[in-house]
Structure 1
Amino acid sequence: MTRKNRQWYPNVMMHITTRGNRKNNLFRDEEDYKVYLSTLEYVLEKTSDQFEIVSYVLMSNHVHLQVQTKEMHIKCFMGRLNNLYAKYFNNKYNYVGHLFQERYGSEIISDDKYVLEASRYIHLNPVRANMVKKPEEYKWSSYRMYISIVPEKTIETLRILSYFKSENRRLYYKEFVESAISPKG
């Protein structure tokens, strides 16, 4: 049976998800997270600036990426990223077979509201999974770069931050994201 082609066109922003096979962990230790991020950087470099990472979060058994494409199809990026990371993981843990549950999920982000909502959703994933109380406490997310706790690396924040007033835009973004955290009552 053939698979349905993904909806894609040039210069589109996408919300990408990928999950471990049978919901198993993709990351077992700190080295795994670091290798995934360095693999992400490597693939960005090798695809000649055809993709920008807008936001990301690496959860223990899945990944969310917000990606701006240019002229190259997203499958070129994700295929290479998932393949390289799976080879690393399978080699490290002496596994054979599929690391990822299925092909990655992709959704086109079609309007400005969804651009912001996808970023907020991604950055709040660890909070909603009860891994941390505040998104800046989670190390494997781009959120800390958005609010200037750590220097920017791998991501392009300008697209998201341009929606906020130029003075204090990082603070306004922080308030926007954290306004969706429901208080425990």
Structure 2
Amino acid sequence: MQKIEPIISDRFYHIYNRGINGENLFAGEDNYFHFLRLYDKFIHPIADTYAWVLMPNHFHLLVRIKEEKEFDFTNPDRASNSIGAPNLTGFQNLSGLKPPFQHFSNLFNAYTKAFNKRHARHGALFERPFKRKLITDKDYLRQAVMYIHNNPIHHGFCDHPLGYPWSSYAACVSVKPTRLHRKEVLEWFDDRANFIAMHRRSIDREKIEQWLKI
């Protein structure tokens, strides 16, 4: 049985999960947008986001859990600096300090409730517990970013990361304001040009998936 990583402040995690029994998590554009709205509400206050992708039946996130003193429950005017998706409303205030894993559970529970109501279904939507992998090595941070952004290519949705709308790749190469930690991501690749060039290279998916135990 795979060990379940605890979620600790000031640590990087690759967080990922899929629909229960392989079911789709997203049936249309409105589902993707709603998940990202809830992500802004529940996760942005307690975690910094470095990369993400939403696939029809699974997702990947690369985050750093904030220290408690960094938790931010203020409400921004607009979400023009969201994590990369357009036209999101600002996240709402949350009350109380809950452990970080609880915020992720609240996200998945809130999304499941809305998805079930929208699509007239019942029961669990996500596999439990949600998967997470602690990352302590800079090389694996780079590998995780490329793995996440190239996921749509691997699954045949596009030929280039820019061809898939539900990931952070476009926000990384854009100059538009974003709450995604783009500056740090580009620094891991030295600069924007190298970030783009390295995303064109093949990555050892088997090695990464073995490490993640996907």
Question: Identity, % of aligned pairs?
Answer: 29
Q: Which amino acid aligns with 2:42?
A: V
What's the counterpart of residue 41 of structure 1? 40
Residues 89-118 of structure 1 deviation map (CA, whole Å, 9 limit, x = unaligned): 011111110011222100001110011100
Deviation of 1:5 (Å): 5.5
Residues 42-87 of structure 1 deviation map (CA, whole Å, 9 limit, x = unaligned): 1135xxx321111000000001000110236441231111111111
What's the counterpart of residue 127 of structure 2? 101
Task: Report if aligned partners of 1:146, 1:152 keep a CA contact under 8 Å in 2.
Answer: no
Task: Report if aligned partners of 1:126, 1:138 keep a CA contact under 8 Å in 2.
Answer: yes
Match of 1:172 among 178, 190, 194: 194
Task: Count residues in correspondence.
Answer: 173
Deviation of 1:12 (Å): 0.3
Residues 6-62 of structure 1 deviation map (CA, whole Å, 9 limit, x = unaligned): 3333200000011101111000011101111111111135xxx32111100000000
Q: Which amino acid aligns with 1:70?
A: K
What's the counterpart of residue 171 of structure 2? 145
Q: Pick closer, same or farther for the CA change 1:176–1:4 going to 2, 3 Å.
A: closer
Instruction: Give me the whole-angstrom Cα distance separating, in 1, the residues matched to 2:20 and 2:189.
Output: 38
Task: Report if aligned partners of 1:51, 1:68 keep a CA contact under 8 Å in 2.
Answer: yes
Instruction: Give me the whole-angstrom Cα distance separating, in 1, the residues matched to 2:16 and 2:31.
Output: 18
Task: Report if aligned partners of 1:12, 1:68 keep a CA contact under 8 Å in 2.
Answer: yes
Moved over 6 A (4+): none
TM-score between the two structures when normalised by the length of structure 1:
0.85
Q: Which amino acid aligns with 1:38?
A: R
Instruction: Give me the whole-angstrom Cα distance separating, in 2, the residues matched to 1:8 and 1:44.
Output: 13
Q: Pick closer, same or farther for the CA change 1:28–1:154 going to 2, 3 Å.
A: farther
What's the counterpart of residue 53 of structure 1? 49
TM-score between the two structures when normalised by the length of structure 2:
0.74
- After TM superposition, the structure 1 stretch with the greater mean CA deviation from structure 2, 104-113 or 73-82, is 73-82
Instruction: Give me the whole-angstrom Cα distance separating, in 2, the residues matched to 1:92 and 1:154.
Output: 29
What's the counterpart of residue 128 of structure 1? 154
Instruction: Give me the whole-angstrom Cα distance separating, in 2, the residues matched to 1:154 and 1:42.
Output: 13
Structure 2 unaligned spans of 5+: 69-98, 205-214
Structure 1 unaligned spans of 5+: none
| SS in structure 1 at match of 2:43 | helix
Q: Which amino acid aligns with 1:160?
A: V
What's the counterpart of residue 13 of structure 1? 12
Instruction: Give me the whole-angstrom Cα distance separating, in 2, the residues matched to 1:117 and 1:136.
Output: 18
